[in-house]
Amino acid sequence: MPVDCRHEWKYELNYADLLVLRQRLKAVLAPDPHAKNGVYRVRSLYFDDPSDRALREKLDGVNRREKFRIRYYDGDTSLIHLEKKIKQAGLGRKRIAPLTAAEARALAEGDTGWMAGYPDDLVRELYAKMRTRLLRPKAVVDYAREPFVYGPGNVRVTLDYDIRTGLGCTDFLNPDCVLVPAGDAPLLLEVKWDAFLPDIVRDVIRLPGRRADAFSKYAQCRIYG
C-alpha cells in the first residue's frame, strides 16, 4: 500500500446510534484539537463535467475515480484548500493546495485566467481539466462534523450530520448563501486509518446491524439537480 493511501469506512446511522457512538468515542479517543467545542462545520464546493462524470462514477462504483473540491471550515476563509480525492481499490488518497479567498472566489465564478502559470501543480491540473473536460463548480456541500483521533494507526473517526446543499448556488464563500437539507440524508460515521486499525477502535465503532457502505455526500447533495 502506498504510504499516502488511507483506508476508509462509512456507516449510515440513526440518532440513537450517534448518541451511543459519541459517548464511546469520547471515552477512548481524543477530540480533534482543531474542533471548537468538539464540532465544526465543513463547507465544500465540488466540481464536475457536463456529463456528471464524477457523480456517475461514484454511483456506478468505478474502481478508480477522482474528484476535485474546494473546502474551508467554520466560515474561516483565511484557510481554504483545493483538494483532489483519488479512490482506487478501496483505498483513498488526497492532494491539497492552499488557495486565497480571492482565488477560491474566482474559481467559484468560473474565472480561470490566473491558474495557467500557478506555481502549484494541483492548481494547474485543475486548470487543464477545466479547459479539456470542462470541469465546473457543481454543488455546495455543507455539514457539521464531530472529529476524534487515535494515535496508533493514525486513526481519524468523525460523526457527520446536518448535511445541506446550496441547490444550484455555487457562491460557497458567502456566509448568507441559502442552504437546504439534502433530502433525507442520514447521519454518518466515517473511519479512516493508515496501515492498521487498532482492535480497540474496531470495538468502539461496532454497532449491531450496521455495515460499511459507500455513501457520498456529494451524490446526496445532487438530488435536486
pLDDT at residue 2, as a whole number? 42
Structural fold of domain 6-220? mRNA Triphosphatase Cet1; Chain A (3.20.100)
- Best CA proximity match to 43, nearest among 94, 16, 83, 4: 83
pLDDT at residue 192, as a whole number? 96
- Best CA proximity match to 159, nearest among 32, 43, 58: 32
Q: What confidence category does residue 16 fall into, taking pLDDT thresholds of 50, 70 and 90?
A: very high
- Best CA proximity match to 216, nearest among 158, 148, 159, 141: 141
The C-alpha angle with vertex 43 and arms to 85 and 141, in degrees rounded to 5, equals 75
Which of 2-6, 61-65, 66-70 has the weakest average pLDDT?
2-6
Q: Please write the tens of the pLDDT for every residue from 129-178.
A: 999 999 999 999 999 999 999 999 999 999 999 999 987 788 889 888 88
pLDDT at residue 48, as a whole number? 97
Q: Please write the tens of the pLDDT for every residue from 34-46.
A: 888 899 999 999 9
72 pLDDT exceeds 70? yes
Which residues partner with 30 through β-bridges? 149
pTM of the model: 0.94
- Best CA proximity match to 151, nearest among 29, 1, 39, 37: 29
Question: What does the domain layout of the chain look like in residue ranges?
Answer: 6-220
Q: What confidence category does residue 214 fall into, taking pLDDT thresholds of 50, 70 and 90?
A: confident
- Best CA proximity match to 125, nearest among 84, 80, 81: 84
Percent share of the chain, pLDDT over 90: 83
pLDDT at residue 149, as a whole number? 97
Q: Are 179 and 166 in contact (CB under 8 A)?
A: yes
Rounded CA-CA distance 78/75 in Å is 9
3-state secondary structure (DSSP) of residue 188 = strand
Let me know if 3 is exposed, middle or buried by CB neighbors in 10 A (0-12, 13-18, 19+). exposed
106 pLDDT exceeds 80? yes
Average pLDDT, the chain: 93
- Best CA proximity match to 221, nearest among 145, 143, 131: 143
Which residues partner with 156 through β-bridges? 149, 192
